[in-house]
Amino acid sequence: MTRVLEPATEEVLAEVPSAGVEETDAAVARAREAFPAWRSVEPGDRAAILHRLADALEGAVERLATLEARNAGKPISDARGEMGMVAATFRYYAGAPERLLGQTIPVAGGVDMTFREPLGVVGLIVPWNFPLTIASWKLAPALAAGNTVVLKPAELTPLTALEFERIAVEAGLPDGVVNVVAGPGSVCGRRLVEHEDVAKIAFTGSTEVGRRIAEGAAATIKRVTLELGGKSANVIFADADLEQAATAAPAAVFGNAGQDCCARSRILVERSAVDRFMEALEEAVESLRVGDPLDEQTEMGPLISADQRAKVESYVNGDAPVAIRGGAPSGRGFWFPPTVLCPVSNDDRAAREEIFGPVACVIPFRDEAEAVRLANDTIYGLSGSIWTRDGARALRVVRAVDSGVLSINSNTSVRVATPFGGFKQSGYGRELGPDALDHYTEVKNVYYATGG
């Protein structure tokens, strides 16, 4: 059995059976058996089942949100928003089965046509920071395209995945189409990566484990998509609405207690605006409400574990001075105060490594060219923002920054209908939007000789 903790209290929230290789193999076998029938379900019927699942998830938002808030330590208002997105993701991809279009291509002597075929059994491996949300970004397009799935949640946060499996069966997904194995990554995750009957791995997690997955998948030429770490830049020019940029900055790095791959954890500020920006930022950080995840007013909860807290702490005692430190509860719970380091050099360890906690680095820059150079001076390339009132400059900078998801005068990264994913060591492949379906289908080309 695995003991699942509540990060805000350090109490045991649940005990769940821990799956091993045998259970993983059994889940793959069930998914494999269910595949021929599921891929053959009429597109309209598959769409109807996914709509029913979206209905059921909408009805379960409050229950799932409470479970996720307690297990992941995230504020209930955020968890509610995330569970709404889970339902919306299924609603969006419920429209896909009838729109998986092929092409007809003019060729000599016949007709050439393409079909979008499902891959088979897909292994989904997800992290603990947005447990069911990230799973839904994989589950919904995979199922809509006619694949069957084995989902492996993170060891620390298996509860909403297990609840999802029950909801899916009740909503009418046939047996074996969705299978959840809750167990260690080094055992169940690894087995999925090596398994000959798994056609693809869709992974979200650290760059380090992503690298291991890409290596492991090579043996069976498995398809792989990887959503990995980030160290994104929030680039603020002196001509921006500084008040607005400073008010928005804390949520972009302290949201989910900084345990967010899209965190804009490097705040690049034009030198002449640093003092004004820091003043406004201090006010915004000090007013952040850090506390009980189940309190409706809470904006930031605890970190996920004691290990994570120790890791985050190690970045705060480095070269860069602590300029702002917000409040956090004391006592039980894996609490960590929102912290801003300033000024930071982009060469400091805190600016180079993904901290995955509520620590922001403010890095001053001279001009546009230096801002772009610093934004790109990282192994990662997931997200980022540009704040300026100069529209032409905004467009120049977003084109020059090597990231998969960028925003102008905003810090949002994620929308159900738009593609999400990274450049460089932030991974490959795209989730959400129409692009995700390309990663859950193969193109089949058929030539029909007509003799003409």
152 in contact with ligand NAD (CB under 6 A): yes
Structure-token match 């020059």, residue found: 400
Q: Distance between CA 442 and CA 315 in Å, rounded?
A: 44
By CB under 6 A, residue 126 contacts ligand NAD: yes
Give the shortest CB-2-to-ligand NAD separation in angstroms: 11
Residue span binding ligand NAD (CB under 6 A) among the ranges 223-231, 279-287, 293-301, 314-322? 223-231
Which span (3-11, 80-88, 105-113, 186-194) binds ligand NAD, by CB under 6 A? 186-194
Q: Between 279 and 307, name the residue whose CB sits nearer to ligand NAD.
A: 307
Question: How would you class 307 by CB atoms within 10 Å of its CB: exposed for 0-12, middle for 13-18, buried for 19 or more?
Answer: exposed
What is the separation, in whole angstroms, between the first and last Cα of the chain?
A: 66
The one catalytic residue in 23, 68, 155, 261 is: 261
Residue 3 CA: distances (Å) to CA of 70, 126, 166, 266, 395 = 14, 19, 20, 35, 49
Our CB check for ligand NAD shows the closer of 126 and 362 to be 126
Residues 364-393 that bind ligand NAD (CB under 6 A): 382
SS3 27: helix
Token digits of residue 252: 């972009």
Question: Closest distance between ligand NAD and the C-beta of residue 18, in Å?
Answer: 12
Concerning whether 261 is annotated as a catalytic residue, the answer is yes
**118, 176, 230, 338: residue in contact with ligand NAD (rule CB under 6 A):** 230
Token couple for 439? 């990663």
C-alpha Rg value of the chain to the nearest Å = 23
Q: How remote is the C-alpha of 329 from its chain's centroid?
A: 27
Q: Tell me if 253 contacts ligand NAD by CB under 6 A.
A: no
Q: Which one of the spans 84-92, 148-156, 238-246, 358-366 is the region binding ligand NAD (CB under 6 A)?
A: 148-156
Question: Which residues are bridge partners to 447 per DSSP?
Answer: 112
Residue closest to 404 by CA, chosen among 387, 386, 429, 379: 429
Neighbouring CB atoms inside 10 A of 392's CB total 8
Q: How far is the C-alpha of 86 from the C-alpha of 136, rounded, in Å? A: 6
Stretch that binds ligand NAD, among 24-32, 114-122, 162-170, 422-430 (CB under 6 A): 422-430
Task: Choose the binding region for ligand NAD from 75-83, 236-244, 370-378, 421-429 (rule: CB under 6 A).
Answer: 421-429
Based on the shown chain and the rule CB under 6 A, indicate whether residue 252 belongs to the binding site for ligand NAD. Answer: no
> For residues 275 and 370, what is the distance between their CA atoms, to the nearest angstrom?
19
Report helix, strand or coil for 420. strand
Report the residue from 4, 28, 149, 228 that binds ligand NAD according to the rule CB under 6 A: 228
Cβ neighbours of residue 416 under 8 Å, at least 6 residues apart? Answer: 85, 88, 89, 92, 432, 433
Q: Specify the 3-state DSSP secondary structure of 272.
A: helix
CA distance 95 to 78: 26
Position 190 contacts ligand NAD (CB under 6 A)? yes
Region from 54-62, 129-137, 337-345, 434-442 binding ligand NAD, contact rule CB under 6 A: 129-137
Residue 180's contacts (CB-CB under 8 Å, 6 or more residues apart) are 27, 150, 151, 152, 153, 158, 161, 162, 164, 165
Of 193, 245, 281, 342, which lies in the binding site for ligand NAD, with binding defined by CB under 6 A? 193
Q: How far is the CB of 103 from ligand NAD (least distance, A)?
A: 30
Q: Does 128 bind ligand NAD (CB under 6 A)?
A: yes
For residue 123, the minimal CB distance to ligand NAD (Å) is 9
Q: Build a one-symbol-per-residue string for 31-70: x at contacts with ligand NAD by CB under 6 A, - elsewhere.
A: ----------------------------------------
Angle at 49 between CA 48 and CA 53, to 5 degrees: 115
Neighbours of 287 (CB within 10 A): 12
Q: How far is the CB of 357 from ligand NAD (least distance, A)?
A: 11
For position 167 contacting ligand NAD by CB under 6 A, the verdict is no
**357 interacts with ligand NAD by CB under 6 A:** no
Q: Can 188 be counted among the known catalytic residues?
A: no
- Site for ligand NAD contains 258 (CB under 6 A): no
Residue in 6, 23, 82, 227 annotated catalytic: 227
**Footprint of ligand NAD (CB under 6 A):** 125-130, 134, 152, 154-155, 185-186, 189-190, 193, 204-206, 209, 212-213, 227-230, 261, 354, 356, 382, 422, 426-427
Catalytic site positions: 227, 261
